[in-house]
Structures are given as structure tokens and as C-alpha cells.
Structure 1
Amino acid sequence: MSDKKLTWQQLANMIDHTNLKQYVPNEAFEKLCDEAKQYGFKTVAINCATTEFCYGQLKDTPVLVDSAVGFPLGQSTLETKVFETEDAIRKGAGEIDYVANLVELKNKNYDYIRKEMDGIVKMCRKYQVTSKVIFENCYLTEDEIVKMAEIALEIGIDFIKTSTGFGEYGAKAEHVRLMKSVVGDKLKVKAAGGIRDVQTALAMIDAGASRIGTSSGIRIVEDYKKMTEE
């Protein structure tokens, strides 16, 4: 989608407004939710422990709670991730971003990757909740990115996502293009990690991203407003 076709409201609705810090009080999450309501962001992206609190702030609005599962390392067990997914949904999550088990990917244990993804997708579908898998591309070869995307296409998850934002680096447009080249229009791509300005956000969208995860959503939208008003 070209930036010329986007209104600022459409851009805002592609953003997961993010606060994944583990050391801030509830006031920070109140502020996050208030900002999401004000700008019309798609979700607030938070750790699972804050799901119920944020849902309480947002339950009468279009903004969803996007809870991170197995975050940020992806090294909890399959059973734990599935339980965490259901627990987050029961507490108000409308979307789930889970971190894949990269140890098993590196082991070429693709059956495990399929089983893990299938378990989480089935749980999300049970409750009609959007599912996303985080690849953490900074640790993957291009072949591994392609393999993960192929498995995601096979299982039918809703989104494949570039990064947690906690790795060695975050989203790259070339990775978004690679992921999109595998899944086409059958799955959506979320770019996240290091997206702090409007130029980077638009580059990710031009590369094929349908969703942007960022803690800089307000800056991005305000700068986009200025760009489109000129």
C-alpha cells in the first residue's frame, strides 16, 4: 500500500501501540491505553501480566489488547505457551503475538514448530482471536525465515512477525519483502522492532507489512500528518 493512499487514521489503525517494559507502574499502561483510544491505534501491545488491566481500560472501545506469549525468548514449553495463550484471551486479549521456539528451528525440528504453531492457532480460533508468530529474524538465516513462513502458510496463522524488539536488531524491509514473497496475500506480515520514525514505518508498509509494532506510534502519526498536509 502506497503512503499516498493512506489517511493518518488508516496509518494509526495499522499500529500496535507498544509498551513491553517490565519495570513501569500501571500509570504507564493507563497512558498507553488513553493514547491508543485518542489516536485510534489497532491495539496496545503488552506483556500478558498486564492484559486484564489494559482490557479494563479498553473494553468499551475498538482498541484491542495484544498480549505477548512466550516473550521475549520463546523458550517456554509448547504446553505452557498454549496455556498462556488461553489465559491471556480469558483475561481480555483480542490478539496474541507468540515467540517461536528458535532452538527447535535451529534443530530443524519442523514438526515441533508446526505443532507449537498449530496449538496456539487452534486456541486463538476457538475464541476468534487474531494470532501472530514472531520469527526474531536477527537470529535466522534467509532459508530459516523462508521455512518459518512456509510452515506458517501451512498452518494458517493470521500474521507472521519480524521481531520482538529485544533481539540484536529489529525489522528490516528486506526481511518483510522476503516473508511476504512466501505468504503472498494469504497471510499478513507485522514489522516490529526499531521502527521509530514515519519513514521507516512507510518503508515497512511499502515492503508488504500490514501491521507495525512500535512504541513511537504518536510520533509516527504526527509526522505523517505533517507530511500529508504539505
Structure 2
Amino acid sequence: MAELSREELAAMIDHTILAPNASEADVRRLCGEAKEFGFASVCANPVWASVLADELQGSAVLACVVVGFPFGASATEVKAFEAKTAVAAGVQEVDMVINIASAIAEDRDALVADISAVAQACHDGAAKLKVIIETSELTDAQKVLACEAAVEAGADFVKTSTGYSSSGATAADIALMRKTVGPDIGVKASGGVRTREQALEMIEAGANRIGASKGIAIIGAGEASEGSY
């Protein structure tokens, strides 16, 4: 299993707050924690885009929001507009949820079209796109198809889960996703990663980013904030 220092592990974690009852004070607190501990980003709902940009300006921590969250069932044009608006507010990373029904139907063209529109909205503003495929809802063949579609559409990362479905990240899914996308696309493990051991298992399987609301506990710096992600 990978041996990483606290600082190295923190730099791979998206410090996450996606609860619908999260307040502005909660989001600002996570930004302070992320700067203190050196997390990769703070990931929040898009209503907080400008707050993230304000709090994280001048730091190495990236501002990240989700779009089409948590079901991925918004119209493509809505997802793209949501991403464009967030990037205009100063966000540097966007985590979008695919149209899960398209993946289950194995409709590659629909997946590529959905992801491409959001990728363009992100890349036009120099932001990166992570594509959430919601692995718990898909067969292995559908996971592969979704990852291939994400790569074709220009995504920068593929990501396991929203954290709001029946289960989250597994090492087996991470390994499958890494094998599918190759070495040049990021793979993010999210959903149910709560301990250092779980995080290291995901990294060993091929993840280079971890999404978690328990980042402080994962790096061994204290108790985690409450959260469902």
C-alpha cells in the first residue's frame, strides 16, 4: 500500500461539503480548513461558487462545484449553463453527474454529447471537468462505456460517485476506471471514503484524487466534520 505523508495525502483530497442544509459559514469554515491542511480543493454546491472563489483566492486550494447534482437528470443545456456560471464566478473545477439513464441504455452518443457541452463550458474558462458516472448504478460494461465517453468528450477526470446513491467508491471500480481511461486522465474516488486506510486503498487502485467530507480525519489531523459524502 502507498506510503504518503500527511501533506501528500491532503494534496489529493477534495474537502467536500454538499449537504443541502450547509450554510455560508459552513462553507467558509471548510475553506479555512482546506488552506490550513493543504487540501486539493473545496467542493460545494454551485450556489457557493462566489464564496469559494472569494475565500480561496490567492491560495493553492482550488474552488470546485458540482453540476447536475446529484441525479444527473438535468437537460444538457442546463448543466452547461450551470458550469459556465460557476466558472465565471471563479471556480476552477466542476464535477458533473452524467445522464445515468443514458449509461444504462448504453447510449454512447448521448453521453458524449452531454459531457462535451459541459467540458466546453469548463474549458472555455480554463476550468477542469470531473465526470461522475455513479458506479453503483451501472454494470462493469456500462462503467467502461461511461468512462470511454468521458474521455472522448474531453473530460479531465472520471469520478465514481455522488455519495448520494446506494453505495460509493470501491477499489475494484477505481482499478476498472483507471484501466479504461489510461494514465493521462484523472480518477477520483468519492462516496464512503472516511479513513486513511480507505483512501490509501483507492490510491493504490489508481485514484489520484479523493472526494470526502472526512478529510481532516483521513489525514489524521482531528475529527471529521459531519457529512454524508
TM, length-normalised to structure 1: 0.93
1:223 is displaced (CA, Å) by: 6.5
Letter in 1 for 2:167: Y
Counterpart-to-counterpart distance in 1, 2:158 and 2:76: 18
Counterpart-to-counterpart distance in 2, 1:104 and 1:183: 19
Counterpart-to-counterpart distance in 1, 2:54 and 2:85: 16
SS in 1 for 2:71: coil
The percent of aligned pairs where both chains have the same amino acid is 38
1:152 is displaced (CA, Å) by: 1.9
TM, length-normalised to structure 2: 0.94
Letter in 1 for 2:59: T
Unaligned residue ranges in structure 1 (runs of 5+): 225-230
Matches within 5 A, 1:37-186: 37-186=35-184
Runs of 4 or more off by more than 3 Å in structure 1?
none
**Equivalent residues of 2:189, 2:202 under 8 A apart:** yes
Letter in 2 for 1:143: A
Q: How many matched pairs?
A: 222
Counterpart of 1:228? none
C-alpha deviations, 1:80-103, integer Å up to 9, x for none? 000000001011211000000011
C-alpha deviations, 1:106-144, integer Å up to 9, x for none? 223221111111111112111111111000000000000
Counterpart-to-counterpart distance in 1, 2:154 and 2:112: 11
SS in 2 for 1:3: coil
**Equivalent residues of 2:106, 2:145 under 8 A apart:** no
Counterpart check, 1:3 vs 2:2: yes
Counterpart-to-counterpart distance in 1, 2:173 and 2:20: 28
**Equivalent residues of 1:52, 1:91 under 8 A apart:** yes
Counterpart-to-counterpart distance in 2, 1:26 and 1:40: 21
C-alpha deviations, 1:190-229, integer Å up to 9, x for none? 00000000000000000000000001110111169xxxxx
Counterpart-to-counterpart distance in 2, 1:24 and 1:191: 22
**Equivalent residues of 2:106, 2:142 under 8 A apart:** no
Letter in 1 for 2:34: A
Counterpart-to-counterpart distance in 1, 2:58 and 2:9: 22
Counterpart of 2:198? 200
SS in 1 for 2:106: coil
Letter in 2 for 1:177: A
Letter in 2 for 1:138: S
SS in 1 for 2:114: helix
**Equivalent residues of 2:167, 2:191 under 8 A apart:** yes
SS in 2 for 1:164: coil
Q: CA RMSD in A?
A: 1.3
